Amino acid sequence: MSLAVIAILIFFSLGVEDYRIGFFTAAGLILLISMCYLFYQKERKHSR
């Protein structure tokens, strides 16, 4: 999964000392992307 890879990259790019910030940032991004994906899927089904 590409989302997991992106989350891990963000997690490590912020450094170990900011692991909490990195975790919440990655979790927030995953939630945002998944919400957008679900919304897009719903809109696509609706338009048919």
- Domain ranges in the chain? 2-47
User: How remote is the C-alpha of 37 from its chain's centroid?
Assistant: 10
Euclidean distance between CA atoms 9 and 42, whole angstroms: 29
In the chain, the amino acid numbered 37 is: Y
The continuous run of DSSP H or E covering 27 comes out as helix 19-47
User: For the segment 10-22, what is each residue's pLDDT rounded down to a tens digit?
Assistant: 767 766 666 677 6
Higher pLDDT, 46 or 42: 42
pLDDT at 42 over 80: yes
